[in-house]
Structure 1
Amino acid sequence: MAAAEPKPPAGAAAAGRLARGCWSAFWDYETPKVIVVKNRRLGVVYRAVQLLILLYFVWYVFIVQKSYQDSETGPESSVITKVKGITFSERKVWDVEEYVKPPEGGSVFSIITRIEVTPSQTLGTCPESVRVSNASCDTDEDCVAERLDMLGSGLRTGRCVPYYQGSAKTCEVWGWCPVEDGASVSQFLGKMAPNFTILIKNSIHYPKFQFSKGNIEHRKDGYLKRCTFDEVSDPYCPIFKLGFIVEQAGENFTELAHTGGVIGVIINWDCDLDLSASKCNPKYSFRRLDPKHVPASSGYNFRFAKYYKVNGSATRTLIKAYGIRIDVIVHGQAGKFSLIPTIINLATALTSIGVGSFLCDWILLTFMNKNKVYSHKKFDKVCTPRRSSGSWPVTLALVLGQAPPPPCPCSADPGQSLAAPPPWPCPASAPSEQMADTPASEPSRQDSTLTDPRGLAQL
């Protein structure tokens, strides 16, 4: 007698049915249900939201922001500067080699407009400056010998000596004497400074688009020797007068020359490379960069010294310089049409139009008088079995529509006969009020939908 063949386990059979059901459902096509609501106010809201979204994308995103372009910010840049002019003070004539620091002609440089000179300083002993804290004294006991104050002028000797003028006394120090406050002389260089000319030579390069350009016109007739910058007539003559720069920054030149300050020359290269290269032009703007209205840190000054020998001893002239520092700042952005950002922004625009549908659905199902009727028309309710008739794969297959529905009634009456099961899926109970614009043939259409949930009979 032949041995009976072993039956496959129930779990394997259920898994096979689930796999076949998922494979079959993979090739199904689903489409949303469309309901037309004849309501003028809701329609106005829907079209208004769509119009606002379209205006935002068409005007701001595509026209103003030019989001159809691939862009690059921060061009590679080089700046070369050169100052020309001559001025004088109460004691001497100054040329460009003396009042421009540093002389290399970079993007940051200073033009000295006032100096405080302490001449003939030598290494020795002298009274400390009264501006140094704890420098005032009455007797030698007030001065600690070999004390070094980081904000002072030298190493203290321990003696209390009379100050340079007046009856005050300060501690004696060993250092460069006399100290700055005791013998400094002020000189003003700003009388002719407004007429100084500054050449700012700038060239930029956008590596992504292989685009380069400079701010000087290519002419061989000595154009730069006789021109100055004018935004309309000479935009490619980058020669600016110092007085013009200070005026455009909104500052008073005499006041700025006495206290010093920092002026920014901003060159902006915004280029639309879909147009010709002649449309890509530099735009200049000027503004003060240092905190003008903060007394503790306003103004600009620095110190330097000139060294020489007198009778074999080291001597120096200390100069505290006040001036106008120029910072040349270059920035910009270039853009050119590219298919990828265009497609991305178009897809974003088309997707954003759906916000109008979401908003109107929320109004329709929340605030409208017949919101329950609209909800019944919009959503179909499907009966699910009260008990699981098998393992979870079978239940999932039932939901996917790949197995016959279980003989469970949709109604709550437990005594109802199972001989005539309700249709699958079964609708919720009909609402008490009907829509005014529902045609007379709607019930028959609903009946056919209920008996044929997938609508295959109408295809």
Structure 2
Amino acid sequence: MKLLKNLLQYETFKMVKVKDKRLGLLYRVFQMTIFAYILYTIIANQGYLRKEAPVEGAVRISLQAPSTLTAPAYCNKLLPCVYWGANEIQYPPDGAGVAFVTTRAIVRRYVPPTGCNFLTPSTPTDPCIFNENMSPTQTITNESYIGDIEDYTLMIEHSIRGRATSIALRNGIMDGKLMFSDGKTVFKEWTSATRMKDNPNADGDIIKVSELLQAAGADLEAPSTAPGAKSGEQYRSSGIVIVIVIEYRNVKLKKDKFSYKYLPRVIDGNEYKAVESLYQADGSYILKERHGIRFVFEQHGEIGEFSLISLLENLVAALALFKVATVLVEILMLEFLPEKDIYEEAKFEVTNDLDELRKRSSNH
């Protein structure tokens, strides 16, 4: 019966003003701390924006030779060097999202046997089928390193747009940074002003190959970890893959201003090789076997526009944290302070059993 009475009782709130400076001070400190946290969270996480992942636009990479070529120390150690133009080193010459920069190459010409045409074999056993292991060859360029490749420069142009927002941007009007592979340390940075100051004709970011390698933590002289690499073979010989994430963000507290970071990282254990096949008018093939650096660009991040609804939603959710201040003070008041019995008596009041009172009233 007692259990039933306890279940059927009703609890209501009672406002008690506790005149205790210790509790009052603690309560205000908790409130101020929570308010500062809410303010920091909304600013740091840009809770005033309606955010979305950017729609990938175009990433265009072009290579340019230095004004003066030099003979690097690695030439004539393991292999001789050849000096190619930028359009020959980058394959294909105009990369979209990827750029392959040749570091080692060999060029051979394959001549068809007399009376044969490599393009006309009609049966599986036709002796005119091209086979690079069987067809007569002439070496045009001996196996060589590409000289002074680290001093070549890449110009990187990229753009993004929003899916639900009206945002549409290219990197030429944004501030950018090239980060080290740890993602925290800045290697190089640009603004709209400095980019044009360095090169008035620059449509994108100009970065030396050596700078990208250094930022990614790559060393072409280091032994390759690729499974297919020969014992002691260097990355300059086997090739290497570097993935560069372009991360976009709104600049905090600045309307319609955006920035990006290049986050490069070596894909350990990878090598890269490409073979370019060129059919000649005399019926022969020229095969350019290339090993080198493959730069792969990926676009990620979050961009957004100011939204009052997003701000209000985040504020309402954050304001619920103020209840934590009340809970903490009440726990201290009722469980830990010496006057807890006095506080409990003031806070909780139990009425008489009103059912009994009603029974007595009805009997009268």
Task: Work out whether the TM-score is over 0.5.
Answer: yes
How far 1:33 moved relative to its partner? 1.6
What residue number does 2:320 align with?
Answer: 351
What TM-score, normalized by structure 1, do the two folds share?
0.52
Distance 1:84 1:328, change over 3 A: same
Instruction: Give the 5 Å matches for 1:356-371.
Output: 356-371=325-340
SS at match of 1:208: coil
What residue number does 2:273 align with?
Answer: 302
What residue number does 2:265 align with?
Answer: 288
- How many Å separate the matches in 1 of 2:166 and 2:195? 24
Distance 1:31 1:385, change over 3 A: closer
Instruction: Give the 5 Å matches for 1:371-390.
Output: 371-382=340-351, 383=353, 385=355
- How many Å separate the matches in 1 of 2:293 and 2:249? 28
Distance 1:216 1:353, change over 3 A: closer
How far 1:274 moved relative to its partner? 7.0
Give % identity.
23
| Gap runs ≥5 in structure 2 | 1-10, 72-78, 114-130, 174-187, 197-201, 223-234
SS at match of 1:177: coil
Report the count of equivalent residues: 288
Q: Does 1:84 align with 2:64?
A: yes
Candidates 90, 95, 99, aligned match of 2:89:
99
Amino acid at match of 1:342: L
What residue number does 1:35 align with?
Answer: 16
Distance 1:288 1:259, change over 3 A: farther
- How many Å separate the matches in 1 of 2:144 and 2:213? 18
SS at match of 1:325: strand
Candidates 28, 48, 58, aligned match of 1:68:
48
How far 1:359 moved relative to its partner? 1.7
Q: Is the 8 A contact 1:263 1:286 kept in 2?
A: no
- How many Å separate the matches in 1 of 2:274 and 2:111? 14
Q: Does 1:407 align with 2:360?
A: yes
Candidates 212, 219, 234, aligned match of 2:194:
234
Q: Is the 8 A contact 2:56 2:161 kept in 1?
A: yes
| Gap runs ≥5 in structure 1 | 1-29, 124-174, 218-228, 292-296, 387-403, 409-417, 420-459
Per-residue displacement from partner, 1:253-305 (whole Å, max 9, x unpaired)?
A: 4444234222334434323597465x43x4343522312xxxxx24x222536
How far 1:370 moved relative to its partner? 4.0
What residue number does 2:150 align with?
Answer: 194
- How many Å separate the matches in 2 of 1:36 and 1:366? 18
Instruction: Give the 5 Å matches for 1:43-442.
Output: 43-58=24-39, 60-85=40-65, 90=80, 94-115=84-105, 177=133, 187-216=143-172, 231=190, 234-235=194-195, 237=202, 238=204, 239-255=206-222, 256-272=235-251, 275=254, 277=256, 279-280=257-258, 282-291=259-268, 297-298=269-270, 300-304=271-275, 306=277, 321-382=290-351, 383=353, 385=355, 405-407=358-360
Q: Is the 8 A contact 2:103 2:291 kept in 1?
A: yes
Amino acid at match of 1:406: K
Distance 1:378 1:202, change over 3 A: same
How far 1:114 moved relative to its partner? 1.1
What TM-score, normalized by structure 2, do the two folds share?
0.63
Per-residue displacement from partner, 1:299-339 (whole Å, max 9, x unpaired)?
A: x2225364769x99xx8676653211112232333333322
Per-residue displacement from partner, 1:325-382 (whole Å, max 9, x unpaired)?
A: 1122323333333222222233233321121111222222223334344333222324
- How many Å separate the matches in 2 of 1:349 and 1:84? 52
Per-residue displacement from partner, 1:182-228 (whole Å, max 9, x unpaired)?
A: x9x973333221232322221222243312222237xxxxxxxxxxx
How far 1:50 moved relative to its partner? 1.4
Q: Is the 8 A contact 1:302 1:321 kept in 2?
A: yes
Q: Is the 8 A contact 2:238 2:291 kept in 1?
A: yes
How far 1:104 moved relative to its partner? 4.5
Q: Is the 8 A contact 1:82 1:198 kept in 2?
A: yes
Q: Is the 8 A contact 1:273 1:336 kept in 2?
A: no
